[in-house]
């Protein structure tokens, strides 16, 4: 098959044993790559009784069949494991150049188990892997670690994925950082790495990825390059970054305000992509072979936020540290972003946990005695900025914030205040502004993740006609809307397996053309949806195996309260109607929350069917 290097590296950190094994061709065919293939490996090696931070929990780095080829915007990798934040399916993908370099080094993925007796890093160069001492790197930030490991690799082309202080301290939303500020942020994969005493994974190689039909690939790439010249979405992402739509998103209520309790944010323009371009932007940044280049390199200059070089901020961070905390100071947001990058923290979980703390401070549940003397007042980002390094090192009040919003709320008896699904903090797309997102969050295998289906983009015009994904009314709660959500989840389960960037709106037909050219297998729209459905249901089977039931498929109380004003005014999802319809269309069992036996078997998931229904 084109697209695959044909090898997975297996590493046991406890014993130091490493070996190559063939990438399972049947699994690659059924689960594509990326998160799909990682889910298949995790299913095989899952240790449901072990703590997610125990040596038994495998950590999986995986690329997709398009990674490292000329396919535009596909130079990504995913990291998967049982999440320490949720105890469930953990998944986070990242751009940059690390994923392609792993393939050039000869591997489709790495499956890591055990725990090293001392800190180590894994160095992979041209098909050879070695564990190297990393005690001298322990305690260094993510940027310094990347610099030094590159130096030790002896080649500036080496790419390094690593953890900062947050991963070392087992902060439950620690990120894995690569290519400076690129982050696999969500679900705490950095903490799993830290628990394994694994500081970094460095990759370097000179192989090329086999392609089934080079002429067809060239034609598919040309088509995309031509398309983006005229595509408004691609152009605004290129010119304004992912924060291009902040003003619109604030207007329609998509961008959360005041810890999900505010309806209007008049200062949205101050934290928008256009304002960034006119003020702190220094240059654009692209991932491997991406013609869009939505990345931003900024440099706030005003004290106390002055920072010579910040990778970001992108939209999720702007909202997490901006509107969510009532802050319209872009320089402050950029500074917070930088600290999260160097310490290796997920900006979404960090921002949502801090916003909860601000709310608790306002209510008198937290006082200055709890917060190391800091006054957490809405709109003032300085206390949040002071807390980020303390979270990363679990120091003082930071230790209370390091286990996420749900743990903080529980500790002070206000569990209902935490804005999370299954323990994962809700990202920056309010489901009251787009009802489809309510189901995406409630039923997502990793909890609340916009990366499992960005349904909000459909109603803004990003239709996939050949998949029956059509724009409609964003407040629609009908069975038709439920069907669109399901098809979007299946579509994204497929693209997260390719792995295609979710900021590249090339359309499903173009992803199919790239896949056929690289892998050498035509995939119809229906095949694409079936592959996605198989992957989505496998992830569901994993979380069922870890204890998830139908009762866990719910939204937090804050998102079921109507807001008095703004773009979502008075509108809330009716979960009592939406969820049964979702279960019916999905073929899931209402009593247990599991996919029905026949549904699993029809998707070729016989193992999970027997495991869940024996």
Cβ at position 295, least distance to ligand SF4 in Å: 5
Cβ at position 503, least distance to ligand SF4 in Å: 4
Say whether residue 294 binds ligand SF4 (CB under 6 A): yes
SS3 16: coil
Q: What are phi and psi of 121, to 5 degrees?
A: -125, 155
Q: How many CB atoms lie within 10 A of CB 556?
A: 23
Say whether residue 177 binds ligand SF4 (CB under 6 A): no
Residue in the structure block whose two tokens are 């691609």: 234
Beta strands at 7-12 and 109-113: parallel, antiparallel or unpaired: parallel
* CA–CA dist 411, 425 (Å, integer): 16
Residues contacting ligand SF4: total by CB under 6 A: 12
Say whether residue 504 binds ligand SF4 (CB under 6 A): yes
Cβ at position 121, least distance to ligand SF4 in Å: 25
Say whether residue 514 binds ligand SF4 (CB under 6 A): no
Q: How many CB atoms lie within 10 A of CB 242?
A: 21
Residue 93: which of 109, 104, 70 has the closest Cα?
A: 109
Residue 262: which of 323, 351, 329, 177 has the closest Cα?
A: 323
Say whether residue 503 binds ligand SF4 (CB under 6 A): yes
Say whether residue 66 binds ligand SF4 (CB under 6 A): no
Q: Which is nearer to ligand SF4, 153 or 292 (CB)?
A: 292
- Within residues 191-220, the interface with ligand SF4 by CB under 6 A covers none
Q: Per CB under 6 A, which region of 205-213, 247-255, 289-297, 439-447 contacts ligand SF4? A: 289-297
Residue 177: which of 191, 195, 164 has the closest Cα?
A: 164
Residue 43: which of 478, 401, 538 has the closest Cα?
A: 538
Q: Per CB under 6 A, which region of 50-58, 288-296, 426-434, 489-497 contacts ligand SF4? A: 288-296
Residue in the structure block whose two tokens are 């323990």: 423
Say whether residue 142 binds ligand SF4 (CB under 6 A): no
SS3 122: strand
Residue 169: which of 189, 134, 194 has the closest Cα?
A: 194
* CA–CA dist 356, 426 (Å, integer): 12
Q: Per CB under 6 A, which region of 145-153, 290-298, 521-529, 559-567 contacts ligand SF4? A: 290-298
Q: Which is nearer to ligand SF4, 11 or 290 (CB)?
A: 290
Please spell the DSSP secondary structure of 185-217, one letter per residue: -GGGHHHHHHHTTEEEEEEE-------S-HHHH
Cβ at position 500, least distance to ligand SF4 in Å: 9
Quote the DSSP letter at residue 384. H
SS3 125: strand
Burial of 7-20, coded b for 16+ CB within 10 Å and e otherwise, reads: bbbbbbbeeeebee
SS3 295: strand
Q: Which residue among 63, 73, 93, 323 contacts ligand SF4 (CB under 6 A)?
A: 73
Say whether residue 95 binds ligand SF4 (CB under 6 A): yes
Cβ at position 211, least distance to ligand SF4 in Å: 19
Say whether residue 292 binds ligand SF4 (CB under 6 A): yes
Q: Which is nearer to ligand SF4, 387 or 504 (CB)?
A: 504
Q: Which is nearer to ligand SF4, 90 or 295 (CB)?
A: 295
Say whether residue 286 binds ligand SF4 (CB under 6 A): yes
Q: Which is nearer to ligand SF4, 211 or 240 (CB)?
A: 240
Which two tokens mark 545? 């195996």
Cβ at position 73, least distance to ligand SF4 in Å: 4
Residue 467: which of 437, 488, 439 has the closest Cα?
A: 488
Q: Which is nearer to ligand SF4, 70 or 399 (CB)?
A: 70
Q: Per CB under 6 A, which region of 271-279, 283-291, 350-358, 539-547 contacts ligand SF4? A: 283-291
Q: Which residue among 46, 59, 287, 493 contacts ligand SF4 (CB under 6 A)?
A: 287
Q: How far is CA 118 from CA 37, 166, 203, in A?
A: 30, 18, 21
Say whether residue 290 binds ligand SF4 (CB under 6 A): yes
Q: Per CB under 6 A, which region of 138-146, 152-160, 252-260, 285-293 contacts ligand SF4? A: 285-293
Q: Where are the alpha helices (DSSP H) in 547-596?
A: 575-586
Quote the DSSP letter at residue 257. B
Say whether residue 507 binds ligand SF4 (CB under 6 A): no
Q: Per CB under 6 A, which region of 408-416, 498-506, 538-546, 548-556 contacts ligand SF4? A: 498-506
Q: Which residue among 293, 396, 472, 607 contacts ligand SF4 (CB under 6 A)?
A: 293
Say whether residue 575 binds ligand SF4 (CB under 6 A): no
Helices (H) and strands (E) in the chain, counts: 24, 17
Cβ at position 504, least distance to ligand SF4 in Å: 5
Q: Which residue among 295, 404, 436, 593 contacts ligand SF4 (CB under 6 A)?
A: 295
Using CB under 6 A, list all residues that contact ligand SF4.
73, 95, 286-287, 290, 292-295, 501, 503-504
């Amino acid at each position: 098959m084109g697209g695959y290097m044909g090898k997975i590296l297996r590493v046991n950190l406890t014993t130091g044993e490493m070996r190559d094994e063939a990438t399972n061709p049947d699994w690659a065919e059924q689960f594509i790559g990326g998160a799909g293939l990682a889910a298949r490996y995790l299913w095989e090696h899952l240790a449901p009784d072990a703590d997610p931070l125990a040596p038994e929990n495998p950590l999986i780095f995986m690329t997709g069949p398009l990674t490292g080829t000329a396919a535009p915007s596909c130079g990504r990798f995913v990291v998967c494991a049982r999440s320490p934040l949720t105890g469930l399916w953990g998944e986070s993908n990242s751009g940059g150049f690390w994923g392609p370099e792993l393939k050039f080094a000869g591997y489709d993925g790495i499956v890591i188990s055990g725990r090293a007796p001392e800190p180590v890093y894994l160095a992979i160069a041209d098909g050879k892997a070695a564990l190297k001492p990393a005690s001298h790197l322990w305690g260094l930030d993510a940027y310094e670690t990347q610099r030094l490991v590159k130096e030790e690799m002896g080649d500036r082309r080496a790419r390094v994925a690593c953890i900062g202080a947050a991963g070392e301290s087992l902060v439950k939303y620690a990120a894995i950082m690569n290519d400076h500020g690129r982050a696999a942020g969500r679900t705490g994969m950095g903490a799993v790495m830290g628990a394994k005493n694994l500081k970094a994974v460095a990759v370097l190689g000179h192989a090329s990825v086999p392609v089934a039909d080079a002429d067809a690939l060239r034609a598919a790439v040309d088509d995309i390059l031509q398309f983006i010249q005229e595509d408004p979405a691609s152009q605004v992402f290129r010119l304004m970054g992912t924060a291009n739509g902040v003003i619109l998103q604030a207007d329609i209520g998509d961008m959360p305000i005041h810890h999900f309790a505010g309806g209007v944010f008049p200062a949205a323009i101050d934290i928008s992509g256009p304002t960034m371009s006119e003020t702190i932007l220094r240059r654009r940044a692209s991932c491997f072979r991406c013609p869009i280049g939505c990345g931003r390199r900024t440099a706030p200059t005003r004290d106390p936020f002055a920072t010579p070089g910040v990778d970001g901020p992108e939209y999720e961070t702007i909202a997490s540290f901006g509107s969510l905390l009532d802050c319209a100071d872009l320089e402050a947001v950029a500074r917070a972003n930088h600290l999260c990058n160097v310490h290796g923290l997920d900006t979404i979980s960090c921002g949502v946990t801090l916003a909860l703390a601000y709310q608790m401070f306002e209510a008198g549940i937290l006082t200055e005695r709890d917060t190391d003397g800091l006054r957490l007042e809405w709109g003032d980002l300085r206390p949040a900025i002071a807390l980020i390094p303390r979270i990363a090192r679990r120091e003082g009040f930071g230790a209370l914030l390091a286990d996420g919003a749900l743990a903080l709320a529980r500790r002070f008896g206000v569990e209902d205040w935490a804005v999370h699904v299954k323990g994962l903090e809700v990202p920056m797309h309010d489901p009251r502004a787009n009802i489809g997102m309510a189901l995406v969050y409630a039923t997502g295998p990793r909890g609340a993740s916009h990366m499992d289906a960005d349904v909000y983009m459909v109603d803004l015009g990003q239709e996939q006609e050949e998949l029956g994904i059509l724009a409609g009314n964003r407040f629609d709660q009908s069975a038709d809307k439920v069907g669109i959500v399901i098809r979007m989840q299946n579509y994204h389960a497929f693209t997260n397996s390719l792995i295609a960037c979710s900021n590249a709106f090339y359309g499903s037909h173009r992803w199919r053309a790239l896949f056929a050219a690289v892998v050498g297998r035509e995939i119809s729209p229906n095949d694409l949806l079936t592959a996605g459905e198989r992957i989505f249901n496998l992830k569901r089977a994993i979380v069922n195996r870890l204890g998830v039931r139908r009762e866990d498929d719910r939204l937090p109380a804050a998102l079921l309260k109507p807001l008095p004003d703004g773009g979502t005014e008075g509108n809330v999802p009716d979960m009592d109607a939406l969820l049964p319809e979702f279960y019916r269309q999905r073929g899931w069992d209402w009593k247990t929350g599991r996919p029905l036996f026949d549904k699993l078997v029809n998707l070729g998931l016989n193992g999970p069917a027997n495991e869940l229904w024996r």
